[in-house]
A and B are shown apart, each in its own frame.
Chain A
């Protein structure tokens, strides 16, 4: 929409001091970020037993935010030398090196031969954005393929970098699992050499992850199609509790010799949300290319914000490079992931104990911080209005917000709101079940839920 200069100002050209300034009159209210909007609504609610199942920030069993002990120990060691810009470069390099080891594996060839270009980034968002800008710069006509659904901000990130997006099938709403056949079809049908965004573990928002076998098939197909896989690694450690296990998808792609990119975030797995620490890395042919690519990435970030803040970088670098602190961190990640797994089991049991006829298997099948509940928009709204339980409109529940104290209440509330379309859902489930048991060709299960198509 072209706004003429005259309209834009909407003032007379007199030099009277009482002239009205209306520079910003045409600026409209931006849509609220859907995830933050949930938090806003939650904060505005005066109800004392309200529950926030919106944003994916870990809470302990008391519902309180957690500062990890490993973070406190690292902080104690850092001190004020942090602020000297002379040490910044060294610390940043250390962060990149340690982050790369964490995701690609200490013993991988990529690490040994230093065949990667990396820069610290402003958590996962920042890493994705720098990559999107880099992709636009060197592949100006390319698009990006997102899984359907994906984190709501992905579209904004690549959008603001002027890279158009498409989706590939991912979530199967009936099985609440992976729609593997359709996924492979879409990967096959995409033009050769397309860019794909993949969640290597703990998919956000669905919690649905491919199995290792499925990842291998995806990797093979990617190889055939020459696609470029870009991994958004926001939950390494949070899916299974084990950082090595959660990196499997990437290791599989590495084994197949793919050139890949990774956006790593330490917001969740180190509880460093507000510090904005992450890393963007891109695999290269050799050290020389790595230097060139790094210089381009740096240039992009220099015009956006310079460099990420040193405090967070120092913390992560210290945690990953100090063996004792790292060991402590790995224990703490396991504790967080285990608590979430326990809450999943507890919530599902509670719903089943209440006699809900609906199928709640997906609560424990899905992985990571989020559960794609299958609740409708109307049900989500009802949960907020009547029960003061807040989640995003797509029915995504942040399991981190569930505690032993509130899990029964949450189960009861979900049971209540789903009671109204109980009949429809029972019929639906019966129908679906029938389809699943019909197995003329003996084809292999693709949903990951145990149902056979």
Chain B
């Protein structure tokens, strides 16, 4: 441990200090407890000359000496391991990033076009308002809640709700804003998350100091939804809890409730006075239709329920790196008298929005402009929006095809009679294979197939050409490893 010896000189009275202990005190560290020895030095000499004289090498130990390595992110860590592998048959089914049939990353055509348009327009780079780009906020809320859709308008969307939308940094950033709002205005309020759920959910709520617990979701026996367990756990939660729901294409399982099941979930949530909190990261990726994938959220809103919804454009527009998403808080007041209704809704709307801004300002001041402009241009332009719908269908379509091929390969190659139909039933980018950790290790060590240890594979990283190989790997791991 380095000790520090100074010789310091200054003529100013303020700097003529008496000797003192150089004790920094104990640092609270993970593995080590580092305590600096008390050193009684008298390092200070008064001289008559101005300014400093000399500084003997002061190799202080860093203030952050004992800081240990944070655990690697389980999902991103898979990609690292994949990169390091030189085997020719290796397959990366880790992170949920869309790949083409050639297993190349894909930049959507609409994104290229919108980006080019922005370059040509040469708009300024001024700060956005704290709540983000107004044009973006409008189109993103419309996209999710379908407020502009004439078909929807005719149906059940109540006239009395306002959505407080604030642009966020993709899904993560939007979830964090909501978590901070919950922590501030619902002290002690708990969030219920599905078991399992996306790994970062827990971290976000932990860092935001929002308590969480789990509701049953995945049934390993059926490799499907444990619906009774889910309902029972939601019912058992303290009244007024926040129930985190995946709007579509559940991550990591790929298992979504049916429309009938969604209605029952809404019933129970309403009955227990819970608040539904949607995380919509895959709108468009589940069925290929942006509208159809928003059905669950829209159904809740149509019932007049107040809803929180986080959106992300990372996957469906491939804008992972631009960090564009939104947090929406639906404020309604269906029971207030008509003349008071609008005022009361708008009052809540402005107040909630102001608090979301209050949270964002000390986090990053205002959100980034580029991704917001791209999304606003695509969703706000009829032609580009149509093109996007088509590309969305293509991407989701490729994944559906891959599911079918995988299912066919598994069914034909596996003679044990095991039911592999869950591969077809599951939705979206991911499939929960039901493989345990040891079996997953076998997938990686023997077959060079990289996946997360919970048994999740990302079908976005699978090509038709590799389905048979993957089927062999899965069958081998399932039957020959325990």
A16 nearest in chain B by CB position:
B335
Instruction: Tell me the minimal C-beta distance from B478 to chain A in angstroms.
Output: 31
Contact partners of B355 in chain A: CB under 8 A: 27-28, 30
* Total contacting residues, chain B, CB less than 8 A: 114
A446 nearest in chain B by CB position:
B12
Contact partners of B289 in chain A: CB under 8 A: none
Question: CB distance A24 to B348 under 8 Å?
Answer: yes
* Contacts known (A5-B238, A5-B239, A159-B362); A292 close to B67, Cβ less than 8 A: yes
Looking at the complex, which of A212-220, A242-250, A324-332, A413-421 is the stretch in contact with chain B?
Answer: A212-220
Query: CB-CB contacts of B1-31 with A at 8 A, as 1s and 0s?
Result: 0001010101010110100101111011100
| Chain B CB within 8 A of A203 CB | no
Contact partners of B172 in chain A: CB under 8 A: 302-306
Instruction: Tell me the minimal C-beta distance from A303 to chain B in angstroms.
Output: 4
Which of B14, B321, B358 is within 8 Å of A185, CB to CB? B14
Question: CB distance A217 to B12 under 8 Å?
Answer: yes
A337 to B43, CA, bound (A): 42
Instruction: Tell me the minimal C-beta distance from B110 to chain A in angstroms.
Output: 12
A375 to B51, CA, bound (A): 36
Question: CB distance B64 to A122 under 8 Å?
Answer: no
B179 nearest in chain A by CB position:
A303
| Chain B CB within 8 A of A36 CB | yes
A224 to B7, CA, bound (A): 9
Contact partners of A184 in chain B: CB under 8 A: 12, 14-15
Contact partners of B365 in chain A: CB under 8 A: 122-123, 125-126, 153, 276
Question: CB distance B207 to A303 under 8 Å?
Answer: yes
Query: CB-CB contacts of A256-275 with B at 8 A, as 1s and 0s?
Result: 11110000000100011111
Question: CB distance A29 to B125 under 8 Å?
Answer: no
Which of B173, B305, B362 is within 8 Å of A306, CB to CB? B173
| Chain A CB within 8 A of B70 CB | yes
Contact partners of A406 in chain B: CB under 8 A: none
Contact partners of A86 in chain B: CB under 8 A: 105
A295 nearest in chain B by CB position:
B70
Q: How large is the interface on A (under 10, 10 to 19, 20 to 34, 35 or more residues)?
A: 35 or more
A361 to B271, CA, bound (A): 69
* Contacts known (A298-B70, A302-B200); A21 close to B305, Cβ less than 8 A: yes
- Of B115, B239, B362, most A-chain CB atoms within 10 Å: B362
Question: CB distance A192 to B24 under 8 Å?
Answer: yes
* Contacts known (A83-B318, A125-B363, A226-B60); A23 close to B126, Cβ less than 8 A: no
Which of A30, A33, A309 is within 8 Å of B321, CB to CB? A309
Question: CB distance B368 to A257 under 8 Å?
Answer: no
Which of B8, B17, B64, B176 is within 8 Å of A304, CB to CB? B176
| Chain A CB within 8 A of B352 CB | yes
B370 nearest in chain A by CB position:
A311
B362 nearest in chain A by CB position:
A156
B64 nearest in chain A by CB position:
A293
Interface residues of A (CB under 8 A from B): 2-3, 5, 8-9, 11, 13, 15, 17-33, 36, 55, 57, 65-67, 71-72, 75-76, 80-86, 88, 122-123, 125-126, 129, 133, 138-140, 153, 156-157, 159-160, 181, 184-185, 188, 192-193, 213, 216-217, 220-221, 223-224, 226, 228, 256-259, 267, 271-276, 282-285, 289, 291-293, 295-296, 298-300, 302-312, 444
New contact pairs (16) apart from A24-B348, A83-B322, A129-B362, CB-CB < 8 Å = A24-B306, A29-B350, A31-B358, A84-B107, A85-B321, A122-B365, A139-B27, A224-B8, A256-B58, A273-B125, A274-B128, A274-B366, A276-B364, A276-B365, A309-B169, A311-B322
Interface residues of B (CB under 8 A from A): 4, 6, 8, 10, 12, 14-15, 17, 20, 22-25, 27-29, 43-44, 50-52, 55, 57-65, 67-70, 72-73, 97, 105, 107, 111-112, 115, 119, 122, 124-130, 168-170, 172-173, 176, 180, 185-188, 200, 203-204, 206-208, 238-240, 270-271, 273, 275, 303-306, 318-324, 329, 331-336, 348, 350-352, 354-355, 357-359, 361-371
Which 7 pairs between the two chains have the least Cβ-Cβ distance? A274-B369, A305-B169, A310-B321, A305-B173, A30-B358, A122-B364, A156-B362
> What are 11 A-B pairs with beta-carbon distances under 8 A?
A65-B126, A84-B107, A85-B105, A126-B363, A220-B10, A224-B44, A257-B59, A275-B369, A295-B72, A306-B169, A309-B371
